[in-house]
Amino acid sequence: MNRVTRLLSIQYPIIQGGMGNISNAKLAAAVSEAGGLGTIGCGTMSGEQVEEIILQTKELTDKPFALNIAINVSPNVDKLIELAIKHDIPVISLSAGNPTPFISKLHEHEKVVLAIVATVKHAIKAEKAGADMLVTEGYEAAGINSPYELTTFTLVPQVAQKVNVPVIAAGGIGDGKGLAAALMLGAEGVQIGTRFIATKEAPFHENYKEQLIRASGTDTVIIGRSFGRIRRVLNSSYIQELIEQEKIGVSLQDYGKFTSEKHHVLGAIKGDLSSGFLNSGQVVGLINDIPSVKDLIEDMIKTANNRMQVGATLLESIAQTN
């Protein structure tokens, strides 16, 4: 047990990333049941839609799960905060905006608050504002990303040496080796998204899962850089057309329309790859199968332990040699 598992009341320091409007009760509950922290991402959904997923999740698990609120994305932030309080959601992660205005109210209701950050500056501000944990998300991550483009390997240790609250590593992590590396960098847990898409419980279209298994680490691309709205997605004909439109000067309004949650749902849930897109992190190059969530998490823990033991043995051997 470490600070992350203790504060979140979970078995393993593994958190599911928010997935916007494709979030669902089945996957969130499966992650929590397997010992991690499942997450419902609110995206742009209405309060009524999110509440329905919360109730469904509570029917599937009595374990803790989180609500992810993307501050500058959701038009219903205040309503979502009230829902978290009403339904006694123990953990709230705040992303895509300034978490400061919401932390004190959440603390009044004894919520654990995670703030998702992408720079040391923002990490320090979030800690001062009262965030209980910091999710440091590197540029490798799927979906909406930071324009600062710092990688997980460099971001985690920089943040860990500047703050006192627990640090969670996110971006480019999908197996036990990634978990071990994150712990060695100073994190006390990990947040993963793309790898959970390719699991048996994840109710996404088979086209999505097949694309993840077939893809290599170079099959993700960045869109939105010209607008300062970074998003990492799987390459496709739909995305290539959007990239061309961006090159010739598509308007911000049209870009927002083409990358809306409507087109996210079309790709991920409906499997329509000509009209929709698929979020994916660079970790996609490590995805070769579709395990159960339980098997994935247990394998991550086992592999991480083994890798850390191997590393300790190697360092000890080097020390003795010298």
Task: Indicate which CATH number applies to the domain containing 179.
Answer: 3.20.20.70
Domain assignment of residue 296, yes or no: no
- Those residues whose C-beta lies under 8 Å from the C-beta of residue 76, and which sit 6 or more positions away, are 42, 45, 46, 47, 50
Strand 231-234 and strand 220-223: the pairing is antiparallel
Residue 288 CA to residue 284 CA, distance in Å, equals 9
Question: Residue 21 domain-assigned?
Answer: yes
Q: Say if 301 falls within a structural domain.
A: no
User: Do 17 and 122 share a structural domain?
Assistant: yes
153 and 107 part of one domain: yes
Q: Tokens at residue 182, please?
A: 């994150």
Cβ atoms within 10 Å of 116's Cβ, excluding its own: 29
* Pairwise CA distance, residues 140 & 135, whole Å: 14
Quote the distance between the C-alpha of residue 161 and its chain's center: 22
- Whether residue 308 lies inside any domain: the answer is no
Q: Which domain holds residue 244?
A: 206-283
Q: Is the same domain home to 255 and 176?
A: no
> Does residue 316 form part of some domain?
no
pTM of this prediction?
A: 0.93
Question: If we measure between CA atoms, which residue out of 145, 263, 284 comes closest to residue 220?
Answer: 284
Tell whether 187 and 224 lie within a shared domain.
Answer: no
Are 190 and 63 within one domain? yes
In a domain, 22, yes or no: yes
Residue 101 included in any domain = yes
CA end-to-end span of the chain:
34
Q: For 18, which DSSP code? A: P
- Domain shared by 171 and 43, yes or no: yes
Cα 117 to Cα 121: distance, rounded to the nearest angstrom: 9
- Exposed e or buried b per residue across 300-322, where buried means at least 16 C-beta atoms within 10 angstroms of its C-beta: bbebbeebbeeeeeeeeeeeeee
Task: For residue 309, name the pLDDT band (cuts at 50, 70, 90).
Answer: confident
What is the count of structural domains for the chain?
Answer: 2
Q: How far apart are CA 178 and CA 303, in angstroms?
A: 9
Residues 190 and 51 occupy one common structural domain: yes
As a whole-number percent, the residues of the chain with pLDDT over 90 amount to 82
Are 141 and 249 part of one and the same domain?
no
Please give the structure tokens belonging to residue 121: 């500056």
Do the domain assignments include residue 311?
A: no
Measured between alpha carbons, how far is 288 from 282 in angstroms, rounded to an integer? 14
pLDDT digits (tens, 9 = 90+) for 18-38: 998 999 999 999 999 999 999
> What's the whole-number average pLDDT of the chain?
93
For the chain, how many helices (H) and strands (E)?
Answer: 14, 11
Q: 157, 177, 202 — which closes off a domain? A: 202
Cβ-Cβ contacts under 8 Å for 213 (sequence gap 6 or more): 198, 287, 288, 289, 290
Write b or e for each residue in 164-182: b if 16 or more Cβ atoms lie within 10 A of its Cβ, otherwise e: ebbbbbbbbbbbbebbbbb
**104-157 pLDDT, tens per residue?**
999 999 999 999 999 999 999 999 999 999 999 999 999 888 888 899 999 999
